[in-house]
Amino acid sequence: MNKIFDSHSHYNDDSFKDDYCDVLQKIADNGVGTVLNVGADIHSSRLAVKQAEECDFMYCSVGIHPHDSIQARDEAIMEEIEQLIAHQKTVAVGEAGLDYHYDDSWSPEVQKEAFVKQILLANKYNKPLIIHTREAMQDTLDILNEYPLNSGVVHCYSGSRESCKQLVKMGLYIGFTGVITFKNARRALESLKVVPLDRLLIETDCPYMAPEPNRGKRCDSSMLHFVAQKMADELGMTKDEIIRITRENAERLFNIR
Ligand code: NI
């Protein structure tokens, strides 16, 4: 049996604080072989590294999410981020990108600056960038055209099929969450079908985005069985094939053996 590679999780989130060890045991007992624990600001990035140091099957990513993009203007923070990126358990930079969903978020100018800084860091350390983009696809594509990435993934893909094609053309991987199991998932499923098999990743984005039939609950990596099954049904493959392919893709992208 192939083991699941969860390419985007947040076990550094407060919601796992009380039963963290139990959750790790539970997912290991349920066919999960590897998790990538993703930082979103300086605090969660520090914790992601610490947790990855302590857990054999966990790797981490370090970066500044658009919601905290102002932190990228702080030189001391960015120096520490750079040190954390160089850590041997850090296999990616991010999550970084653009999010225009909330009115009270940082301005596009601040967000773009943080995004570009992290593109340059990812290229400098030759690690892939984990891209978060929400309601900001055109600006995301423009920045990626101006500052090409060596490698990366657009996580929790929610854009159009046409944008998906452009991102694939840039050499990027595309990550899908439990959103593809939701009733209103038509758009995501259309995009899924234009991603080459060797660029597909599965991810929880836990504690968020629990797939059906667990929608609304706290998510963890064991729920990826539902995501893999849905993907398999859509693509006419078996769940085990999806788990194998997405694991191979993640190991290649994040340079893990
Ligand atoms: Ni995330």
3-state SS of 135-183?
Answer: CCHHHHHHHHHHCCCCCEEECCCCCCHHHHHHHHHCCCEEEECHHHHCC
Summarised one tens digit per residue, pLDDT across range 11-39 is 999 999 999 999 999 999 999 999 999 99
Strands 200-202 and 90-99: unpaired
Summarised one tens digit per residue, pLDDT across range 178-196 is 999 999 899 999 999 999 9
Distance of CA 38 from the midpoint of ligand 1 (Å): 7
Residue type, 108: P
Distance of CA 197 from the midpoint of ligand 1 (Å): 22
Distance of CA 154 from the midpoint of ligand 1 (Å): 11
Which pLDDT score is estimated for 103? 84
Distance of CA 205 from the midpoint of ligand 1 (Å): 5
- CATH code of 4-253, in short, is 3.20.20.140
Distance of CA 39 from the midpoint of ligand 1 (Å): 8
Q: In the predicted model, what is the mean pLDDT of the chain?
A: 97
Give the pTM: 0.97
Distance of CA 209 from the midpoint of ligand 1 (Å): 10
Distance of CA 210 from the midpoint of ligand 1 (Å): 13
Question: CA angle at residue 180 from 101 to 188, to 5 degrees?
Answer: 60
In the chain, domain spans: 4-253
